[in-house]
Amino acid sequence: MPECPVRRRLLILLIVFGVLSPALGWGQQTAQEYFQQNCASCHTIGGGRLVGPDLKNVTDKKDRQWLVTFMQNPQKMINSGDAYAQQLQKEARGVVMPTLPTMTPARANSLLDFIGQESGKSQSSFAGSQTGNQPLTPADQQQGRQIFLGYTSLQNDGPACISCHTVNGEKGLLGGGTLAPNLTNVTARLGGRQGLSAWLSAPATPTMSATFQKTPLTQEEITALVAYFLNQAQQNPPPRTAPFVNYLLFGLGGAVLLLVAFDFFWGHRFRGVRKPLVDKSRKKQQAMG
């Protein structure tokens, strides 16, 4: 049976597209876009340490092949006993760079080329914090609290922080979400104001990255949240146990209301059928007697 010409042409087109797509970068992020989304929350290029080290001239510190191998699977390199990898983990206060499924050797080399280009500039676009060093006011703190609690909607329609996070001392009805970590001391975990600002501008965790990639925080929102979290860290309020009690009370109250509703709608469902049948049967017996 002869091969269908249309099918053969489609197959050729698919093969050509599969070969040329990686080479030409079709449908792929640029190195700058990838760095912004996955790296900028923990690294600067010429702006000093955040959670991870400053990457300016990183190829002068280690050879390219080591860097490519490390970027693909940092935890594996640490577990292998590599002294420099373990030193990086220690300097990051135990934080381990996540292993990204999309970090192929080609992607790693592309990022190193990009970092090299940025390192050669007098001022890289990834050199520092978005919030700068301007004083943070009580008004910033209050605005940040309103944003965290969801009382003020985010400009790009992102979800409120409290839907996934908690902060000690806040008196929300249910205390906040438990999907993500408590953020009371997040500034210490992320290396201070600059690290926190960088993280908020490009969250690197899979859940936050997917959530805020299309709904990023604005500069004003980042500044306000940084002010709020810094203030919370200074106050360091104790955790509240009330949310658990509230959950328990809501659960018991909901169960009671559900039982009342069942009784209201179905408690008398048989009376409208049974009583007429009994009355009819009695009348029939009386007529026969």
Give the domains, in start order, of the chain with CATH numbers.
22-119 (1.10.760.10), 138-235 (1.10.760.10)
pLDDT tens-digit map of 61-113: 999 999 999 999 999 999 999 999 999 999 888 888 888 889 999 999 999 99
**Per-residue pLDDT, 151:** 92
Q: Hey, is 219 helix, strand or coil?
A: helix
Task: With beta carbons less than 8 A apart as the criterion, state whether 193 and 226 touch.
Answer: yes
* Ranges of the chain whose pLDDT falls below 70: 1-28, 128-133, 171-176, 237-250, 263, 266-275, 289
- Supply the pTM of this predicted model: 0.56
Tell which residue, 219, 218, 222, 227, has the closest CA to residue 139.
Answer: 227
7-23: burial string, b at 16+ Cβ within 10 Å, e else: eeeeeeeeeeeeeeeee
Tokens at 69, concatenated: 């191998």
DSSP 140-205: HHHHHHHHHHTSS--TT-PPPGGGT-B-TT---SS---SSS-B-TTHHHHTTSHHHHHHHHHS--S
> What per-residue confidence (pLDDT) applies to 119?
94
As beta bridge partners, residue 182 has 166
